[in-house]
Amino acid sequence: MMHVIRPWRLVGALLLGIFLTAGHPIESAAQQANQNETEEWETRVFEIEHAGRDEVNRILDMFEARWTFDERLKTLLVRSPGNIMPAIAQVVERFDVAAPRTPSVELTMHVLLASGEEREDLLPSPLSDVVDQLRGVFPYRSFRLLETAVARGVDREQLSIQGVLPLQIEGVRHPAYMMRGTLYVTPGTDDARVVRFENFIFQSSVRIGGEQHDIQIMTTIEIAEGQQAVVGKASVADNALILVMSTRLID
């Protein structure tokens, strides 16, 4: 029995053969070109000390490169065209640095009671000069240290202190107090740094006899590193509370 091949089937078979035969060399040529291109790439290993995976990705995403980062061994394997490898090396070196350390601030707050009574109170030597200056400004005869509080915070964070004042005034219960403020560390003159307290508030409530005295000191303070500063004064009946603060920066 004779098989008859219809003309339209013959034409379709010929076209399919041409497509398959012509398509394969085109794909092979593209793959060969890509292979030849990557054979000209350079491979380099970088030791990474500080940057993490996310940071490495951000650094290398801007380049035509392939890379593998081992976080455990802290090694970065980069493969890229040889002409851009020096630029990659410069960028990696620039960004693989330790993050700047946030300075820690140690704050010391002294609460003094100034009164008109005659009495001798031994004060710590750092406060002696401050009290000598206060005697020249205020008419009080004695200055007594009620409270010394030390707290530590970091730049751009809020610092707070709470405590009780041992007021020894007739009819006075020991009142609680609260202090808080936001710390900012800024360069000062002659390379001395300055601690700035914003939204600073000191408050307490003292009941003397049957009368309530609300104490509140609100201000913005700038204290040079290693210096003492009188922050404020609040009257309590015939007496006064005076705040003296100093700071120390710990890098």
- The CA-atom distances, in angstroms, between 46 and each of 113, 123, 225, 247 are 63, 59, 41, 42
Question: Hey, what amino acid is at 155?
Answer: D
Contacts of 20 (CB under 8 A, 6+ apart): none
Does the residue 15 lie in any domain? no
Among 57, 79, 99, identify where a domain stops: 99
Contact predicate 233/130, CB 8 Å: no
Does the residue 58 lie in any domain? yes
Q: Do residues 75 and 150 share a domain?
A: no
What integer pLDDT is reported at residue 10 of this predicted model?
Answer: 44
Q: Do residues 198 and 109 share a domain?
A: yes
* Six token digits for residue 244: 């003296």
Instruction: Give the residue numbers spanning the domain of 236.
Output: 104-250
Burial class (CB in 10 A: 0-12, 13-18, 19+), 153: middle
27 has pLDDT over 80:
no
20 has pLDDT over 50:
no
Q: Do residues 95 and 149 share a domain?
A: no
246 has pLDDT over 60:
yes
> What integer is the mean pLDDT of 134-151?
92
Q: Do residues 160 and 231 share a domain?
A: yes
Q: Do residues 114 and 80 share a domain?
A: no
Higher pLDDT, 95 or 16: 95
111 has pLDDT over 70:
yes
150 has pLDDT over 60:
yes
The CATH code of the domain that includes 72 is: 3.30.1370.120
Q: Do residues 183 and 74 share a domain?
A: no
Higher pLDDT, 87 or 26: 87
Does the residue 12 lie in any domain? no
Question: What is the per-residue pLDDT across 36-64, written as a single tens digit (0 to 9) for each?
Answer: 555 679 999 999 988 888 888 888 888 88
Q: Do residues 109 and 231 share a domain?
A: yes
pTM of the model: 0.62
Longest distance between any two alpha carbons in the chain, whole Å: 138
Give the total number of structural domains in the chain: 2
Q: Do residues 77 and 108 share a domain?
A: no
Split at pLDDT 50, 70, 90, the class of 225 is: confident
